[in-house]
Structure 1
């Protein structure tokens, strides 16, 4: 018979083996020869699962830092992978890793994929600024769309080609001084392929955010948003959080009023940006929830407000809503 000491040693070894297996499972996408392999193991085992907070560029990070809500990890506050700095810590008593993706769809998709493959992420919260094509909304509002489309997924048709019956924009309709023929002909909007391990390949035009997270987000309609750029310059209205919208993503900075009106009229699109659909696409591929909060910084191609600092205000408001959602996630852990 084994003595008590031997039994304790065996139990301790088994526990250590189980811990190691759990750690390996959580970072199995970061190869064992990678210099940060053990660091990632430690981060995933000691913290998490994490909320992945995703933003595109430094101006959107500024309100996060200024808020003081994010508390960096005391041992590994940041690690760099694929050129991106992943910052590890807590916000509103929730384990969070946040990262700047860089602008446009490829950067957003690459960064979210690296995040999901490397860290123990239970969902992606994406926030930032956006242009607006919906005249019922205002600068400073925060849009929470439930559907996003890649509106730069096109077939550019030959001049004189037959009608297709699908959604398209005919260039000649916008000729001046009057509509007519145009050698650019027209653009047909097309779906995007979605691959995952859970379903067969799908072709989607609309990419939905996670329905449970979206429903949870509707509880934060009354979050206080910033109205004034400074002590003397304020918006003419009180900003609001707006739901039940559609958003669009394209590798295009959209500053054309006619095209903005087209998107809203044909697709009921309210926001335009360069990253959101990519973040949702990658999240769906990996089977994790994703939600998007976009602060309105301008009306795409429309009249500009004579106020400086509107992009900063829009970024601040989108962060406030995202931070409130992260807090809400922390209060709803059993349902995640």
Structure 2
């Protein structure tokens, strides 16, 4: 079975082709991604209308590129999958519209996929693929969640953010420090030259006894500390503040993840989403796992951000597991707000 996946939930247009064979994990045959970062950088964040228009320009050329790379044709596609939500409504409609129109023209079925499920399952495309069950740490954009995952479609929410997510804490703190967009990677780069213990920043809900997250107070603390540095902080002060901010976020994510593993009795952690590419997070999780005899799995770095491969993969795995049925009803809809627990 060949599954074409289209991702257009925010500011990246992704298309991929995944193939499945009985008794084996899905295989990524080709994928292509176009990031709108340069376009949105001038505005300091994503402009939804511009994002939607750019998806329209990119999605068909990317589809052609993927099919050419895979040595495949449109007629060889068996299912067309697309991101149904959550995300920006206009951007989602572009991907859904193209997917359903293409499927209708080919007389092939379609399947709408949950964006976060795509992230959650994306490590199954890595060289070190996990096995069920596991605890998943989803750290993607405005989402920070811990899930127990027993099988495809079997997800139990263990904890989530009650305000700002980890990705938002990175981006908003970066903006306070005068860094560019996207802020998370810029803050991580600046932190490489700083001291993580330079400033005593809070670790919200670290000792709450539950598995929920809160990063809004950390953002406020970063703003307060930045003001204390005066109107013209030097480069080392900014690097130290960046390193201290990153250390606070990473410590909360690591300790809550370890607590989730202990609470569930599981020995395997899957980390996915854009923040999952953070080097300090990976380093500290790997070190903790080594000490405790645990396993940690990540997507390939190229698949941490939004991409079509994770959408095609999730569709293929759902169909193989019998957790979903592809349909030939081309009257599509999208769900900009769609809790993963409603799957």
Structure with bigger strand share is 1
Structure with bigger gyration radius = 1
Structure with bigger helix share is 2
Same topology, TM > 0.5: no
